[in-house]
Amino acid sequence: MTFTLPTGLVFARMLAVVPIVLLLQVPDVRNATWAFAIFCIAALSDAVDGRLARRLDQVTRLGTFLDPLADKLLVIGTLIPLQALGLVPAWVVVAVVARELVVTNLRAIASARGYSVGASLYGKVKTIFQTIAAAGLLLLLAVPALPLAYLAYSLLSAAVALTVVSGLDYLWKASFAIAGRGVPERWRLAPRTGVHTRAR
């Protein structure tokens, strides 16, 4: 395995969940502020590692696989302790986790049949809203304020809606790839290499 700086940033983003969870075990203002700061730094690294990998010509299969996984781990790993503190309904966490499990399994099935369904616009916007909503809830924990609460929970509601919509969108697309019916050429994997025949 070749270790690169962009891949290191991805691993750092995944490991950022650990101090966030530990800090939220004692959710006072100081710990919540640190958790918010760590979360924001980790989330912003997502905008850096991809560009850095392309600029340094260090795009690897490992990094491509771990990058979206790190995003999911950061969000879910933050929502779970927030749920334990009563800031997030349990069904929201269940919906987010269930969506990711279903999409991951569908992606694996499609890949086994020679197809790769790329992330849709819904999925990308979903990730943005989930990240901003989680950051807003951490900030609310650090700085309790009614206007901030309205904003944070509005973002969370939008994130949940996009989670469901993007999941259904992927399910619909994956059904074509799995069945092999009317599949766009850009979804087809190159034989033996496991890479796309056309860049997305």
- Confirm whether 194 is domain-assigned: no
Please give the residue range of the domain that contains residue 171.
5-187
Does residue 192 lie in a domain region?
Answer: no
Residue 75 maps to a domain = yes
* Residue 100 located in a structural domain: yes
The CATH number of residue 114's host domain is 1.20.120.1760
83 located within any domain: yes
Q: For the segment 44-77, what is each residue's pLDDT rounded down to a tens digit? A: 988 877 777 677 776 666 667 778 888 899 999 9
Confidence category of residue 112, pLDDT binned at 50, 70, 90: confident
Q: Does the residue 200 lie in any domain?
A: no
Inform me whether the pLDDT recorded for 191 exceeds 60.
Answer: no
Mean pLDDT for the stretch of residues 129-157: 95
- Supply the pLDDT for residue 78: 96
* Contacting residues for 6 by C-beta, under 8 A, at least 6 apart: 49, 50, 52, 53, 56, 58, 59, 63
Whether 192 has a pLDDT exceeding 50, the answer reads no
Number of separate domains in the chain:
1
